Amino acid sequence: MLVKPNTSITFTFNDLEVSAIPGQSVGAALLEAGDRVLRVTRFENKPRAMFCGIGVCFDCLVVIDGAPNQRACITEAKAKMVVRTQVGGA
């Protein structure tokens, strides 16, 4: 995919605006923005972040537009998407 210079989209993560380039995953955009903790474990509230980056480990689960258990590493960022930290896992 060719990306035109100076093109970006924005979405929110926990009510903060995040920029992404078209075609970039939610996880990559959040990592670039400095947001490393994407979810916390259900019982011990331990932080989890992107680990494998290819959709296998499920450590990057987030809530996207109200839908839980979305893998940030393989979900393409879209304009006006609302992303939130997830508590617990799948």
Given a cut of 80, whether residue 52 has pLDDT beyond it is yes
pLDDT band, very low/low/confident/very high, at 5 (cuts 50, 70, 90): low
* Rounded distance between C-alpha atoms, residue 5 and residue 75, angstroms: 22
Domain residue ranges of the chain, discontinuous segments joined by + = 9-87
- The DSSP secondary-structure symbol of 59 reads T
Cα–Cα–Cα angle for 47, 10, 82, rounded to 5 degrees: 55
Q: What is the CATH architecture of 9-87? A: Roll (3.10)
If you average pLDDT over every residue of the chain, what do you get? 92
Model confidence pLDDT, tens digit, residues 10-40: 999 999 999 999 999 999 999 999 988 999 9
pTM of the model: 0.88
Contact between residue 59 and residue 7 where contact means Cβ atoms under 8 Å apart: no
Q: What is the pLDDT of residue 76?
A: 98
Cβ(9)–Cβ(18) below 8 Å: no
Q: Indicate the helix (H) or strand (E) that contains 47.
A: strand 47-48
